[in-house]
A and B are shown apart, each in its own frame.
Chain A
Amino acid sequence: MQGGLAQPRSLVRLAYYPFLPEVRDAVRQAGADLDAVLASSLYEGTRRRAAQRIEGALGGGIAPVAVTDERGALHELLSVAVARMLCVALNEKQLVARYAAAEARRVADALQGDADPEALEQAAATLGLAWAAGEGGWRMHVADYLRAAPSGDAWKLIRRPVARGAVALDRGEAIAIVQEALQRRIAAELEAERGRPVPPPVAQALAPLLAKLEPALSEARESWTSGDFGPVQPGLFPPCIKELFEAMRRGEMVPHHGRFAFATFLGTIGWGPEQIMDYMSTLPNFDREKSRYQIEHVTGARGVDAYTPPGCGTMQTNGVCPLDKRDGLCFKIKHPLSYYRAKLRFQANDAAKAGSHATVHGSHGPRGNGESAASAAPSAAAAASADATTGPGVAAGGRP
């Protein structure tokens, strides 16, 4: 890699690892001034690179640049600071997640090509990762590993050699763990700031950049599955949720975990406690008043945060997932909500294909002006089959 090996702590070298603790001092010493960075034409390139970082996060990743001198290093480091401000100002949860992932991936690539073994150790130490690096690779305490490992089958503990409480990792895996930790840290830091009011002078200075990024952002937004699920469509529920409703309808005792999954699922996709109770009150033996507190609690109506419905792994551990009733889509997703989202997306795509017949804004095509076909379709399609969203309509999906 391009970093100067002869002077390991130089600014040039730090440019690749902006999260390291000495970056702050180094930048301060270099005498950069925030007002200038945001406004002066001297820092035009820095601001352009910041916007490029955001665009990269929205698209195919942040392109690496070769840093050859101190000035270049300063630009690179300052562009990270500006990019973070942009993330906060744009106030988009998905963007924060993408940005954190993209920065972390860029750092992982840099580590991959870094010949200095200290780079990886320094990154790990900064991120609070505890491991022992030795001849045969890296060894992590099993508890530390469980907390630090990315999700995904490849990282399941059962696939790892676990001996005397430690998990062995090779270099690529150690770098992936650093990447995961960095991604989580950036996301947490920006998430804490996101939506906070930006001081007016800063907001003013950022405005041109924000305007420039807006088209890329709105294009990306279309492909994101946002937190807005539109009207609830029981016909699209995953098999587990359908099963639960059927079991309740038959008057069977549904275990605690099942009821919890059902209520939190409906709560998350947009129903209030009253609607959930209305829905469940078609069940025999449903005691509305007894359930009110509990439903209000899990759906966040009583001041505590709403509970997220359990994922497929948890559902399986708790015996709620109907293993034999899973369909093809089940094997592609890891969370009942993803199943529902995917079904909504399929429905939207079908509606879009059906053209003006199904959508109000059909003529705009998939990338219309703001009000896209993709976001309009679910509600239109739902309106077209309104009876599917009322009362026992869910049974239509689950009945043999």
Chain B
Amino acid sequence: MSATVPIPPAAPTVAPAKPLQPTEFPPPVKATIAWLNERFCWWYKHNPPAVPDRFTRREFGYIPWPERPGPPPFVRHLGFDSAARFQESIARAGPHSVYYSTAYYRRPSEMKMADKQWLGAELIFDLDADHLADVEAAKARGEEVPLHEQLRQVKAKFITLLDEFLFGDFGLSSKDVWITFSGGRGYHAHVVEERLMQLGSRERREVVDYITGKVPVEKGSETPDVSIFLERIVTGADSFRGKVKADVAYRLAPADAPGWPGRLTRTLLGELEAHVFSQERAKARKWLLSIDGIGATTADKFLDKVETLADGSHGKTVQQLVAEGRISHRSDPLFKIATKSLEQFGLALAKGETDEPVTADVKRLIRLPGSLHGKSGLKVVTLTRDALDGFDPLRDAVAFSTEDLVPFTARKDQEATLGGQRVAVKAGEQAAVPEAHAVFWCARQSGTVRRSSA
């Protein structure tokens, strides 16, 4: 189950070919699910989740623990009139996952979406390790990036999204953005700024395009058209045999300019800094040649230019020119390298990430902060931007005890470090493991517990 749930407009169902499925769980699995359910009930009783603002206007839903194989039902269209009633209900059910609607409605518990009467919705950014390039590439090779590494990478991407785009370009303040660890393998940002909450789906898609750096592509090509960021400047005119031809130079925005125009220049400058200005000539040349469309002639001419201007005695250095966005004439090696590298990777390096359909959706259910994630037993933790830097989900989102031991039988060899405790288990062997580890593995369906009769 992904972190958020799309809500219809429903489309025709084409049922997948059904594999033959047993109709009952084997007894140990059944007992394990019952144990998880009981532990979740206990946890919710002692840790009632805070309810979101305007919560009487929200729809709630949950996924119960499965009673038999196959997808469990999704219980939704629930509305509550008091926080206490909601918290009691959750502690009684102790469900696998708890969701609330990012939208708030005049009548949240109506069964038909049209009858609910939409009033606004949080603008959601959802980053999941599943969608990281590294994780996808490893998956394609049949490998798996270690969980802590996935979590580290997704956090870095999430910080870019927050700092560059939400707090940066969009000028939001910390009270406008709720930051949560999703309890699974990602992070959510809920933007609750009043004007942005009123945006419809079309405008939210525009926000997605902005953050993910989607520029219009040229006709018939997949290469992004960075020419839209170039300013054309007539620097003079030549006349030849009576014909006057304008002398045209191009400019990117200066590196300190706001928004994407400045971001692209900063990215270009950063790349040239890392691969050319700070490198030996041979290494820099190799990097330049790796850019599609840059040949030996252009690369050499560019390196000559960098060297000639380096001491500043001929005016500005290439670094300074790039920082000011002055990439010169079309025939200049700098122009070619700047445009080609931006097309090929500059845009990709500078862009932010978000799960696109989630951000564009104005009617979605999302995991409730303060609830437990049924596939990990980790808690959906609300964070401040400052706390995010030092946040380690495998230490700070652990909900269950790392001291109480539980009799656990693993289905495969595995290890996990939760709350600073590294525990390794072998397939088929019974071992006493901390409750947190047992919940973590059982929720991932990689082991069972024997219920103590005490």
Which of A143, A260, A263, A294 is close to B196, meaning CB atoms less than 8 Å apart? A143
Q: How far is the CB of B191 from chain A (nearest CB, A)?
A: 10
Q: If the complex has contacts A156-B206, A162-B169, are A317 and B15 also in contact, measured as CB distance less than 8 A?
A: no
Task: Give the residues in chain A near B10, CB-CB below 8 Å.
Answer: 260, 293-294, 297-298
Task: Give the residues in chain A near B209, CB-CB below 8 Å.
Answer: 156-158, 313, 317
Q: Interface stretch among A17-25, A52-60, A235-243, A251-259?
A: A251-259
B70 an interface residue at 8 Å Cβ cutoff? no
Q: If the complex has contacts A161-B259, A163-B171, are A314 and B205 also in contact, measured as CB distance less than 8 A?
A: yes
Q: Interface stretch among A213-221, A278-286, A353-361?
A: A278-286
Which of B6, B14, B262 is close to A253, meaning CB atoms less than 8 Å apart? B14
Chain B minimum-CB-distance residue to A248:
B14
Chain A minimum-CB-distance residue to B194:
A143
Q: If the complex has contacts A142-B170, A253-B16, A294-B8, are A160 and B357 also in contact, measured as CB distance less than 8 A?
A: no
Against A, the Cβ 8 Å flags (1 = close, 0 = not) of B174-211 are 00000000000000000001011011100101111110
A198 an interface residue at 8 Å Cβ cutoff? no
Q: How far is the CB of A341 from chain B (nearest CB, A)?
A: 20
Task: Give the residues in chain A near B220, CB-CB below 8 Å.
Answer: 328, 331
Chain B minimum-CB-distance residue to A142:
B170
Say whether A146 contacts B207, CB under 8 Å. yes
Task: Give the residues in chain A near B229, CB-CB below 8 Å.
Answer: 159
Task: Give the residues in chain B near A314, CB-CB below 8 Å.
Answer: 205, 360
Task: Give the residues in chain B near A394, CB-CB below 8 Å.
Answer: none
The B239-261 residues at the A interface (CB cut-off 8 A) are 253, 257-261
Bound: A277/B61 CA distance, A: 31
Bound: A63/B363 CA distance, A: 45
Say whether B11 contacts A263, CB under 8 Å. yes
Task: Give the residues in chain A near B208, CB-CB below 8 Å.
Answer: 317
A377 an interface residue at 8 Å Cβ cutoff? no
Which of B9, B11, B228, B360 is close to A317, meaning CB atoms less than 8 Å apart? B360
The A309-333 residues at the B interface (CB cut-off 8 A) are 313-314, 317-318, 323, 328, 331
Most A CB atoms within 10 A — which of B114, B214, B229, B259?
B259
Say whether B216 contacts A156, CB under 8 Å. yes
Say whether B14 contacts A146, CB under 8 Å. no
Q: How far is the CB of B399 from chain A (nearest CB, A)?
A: 32
Q: How far is the CB of A252 from chain B (nearest CB, A)?
A: 9
Chain B minimum-CB-distance residue to A313:
B205
Bound: A310/B356 CA distance, A: 15
Q: If the complex has contacts A143-B196, A286-B14, A331-B219, are A317 and B205 also in contact, measured as CB distance less than 8 A?
A: yes
A287 an interface residue at 8 Å Cβ cutoff? yes
Say whether A143 contacts B14, CB under 8 Å. no
The A122-155 residues at the B interface (CB cut-off 8 A) are 141-144, 146-147, 153
B213 an interface residue at 8 Å Cβ cutoff? yes
Q: If the complex has contacts A285-B14, A294-B10, are A144 and B195 also in contact, measured as CB distance less than 8 A?
A: yes
Task: Give the residues in chain A near B114, CB-CB below 8 Å.
Answer: 304
Bound: A143/B120 CA distance, A: 13
Q: How far is the CB of B382 from chain A (nearest CB, A)?
A: 23
Bound: A349/B445 CA distance, A: 62
Say whether A160 contacts B259, CB under 8 Å. yes
Chain A minimum-CB-distance residue to B17:
A285
Say whether B171 contacts A166, CB under 8 Å. yes
Against A, the Cβ 8 Å flags (1 = close, 0 = not) of B1-43 are 0000010111111111100000000000000000000000000
Task: Give the residues in chain A near B195, CB-CB below 8 Å.
Answer: 141, 143-144
- What is A's interface to B at a CB cutoff of 8 Å? 141-144, 146-147, 153, 156-166, 248, 251, 253-254, 256-260, 262-263, 276-277, 280, 283-287, 290-291, 293-295, 297-298, 304, 307, 313-314, 317-318, 323, 328, 331
For this complex, 5 residue pairs linking A to B, each with C-beta atoms less than 8 Å apart, are A142-B171, A158-B260, A160-B259, A285-B17, A291-B13
Extra pairs beyond A253-B16, A259-B13 (20, CB < 8 Å): A142-B170, A143-B196, A146-B203, A158-B214, A159-B228, A161-B262, A162-B170, A163-B169, A163-B171, A165-B172, A256-B11, A262-B11, A276-B12, A286-B12, A290-B15, A297-B10, A298-B9, A314-B205, A317-B356, A323-B222
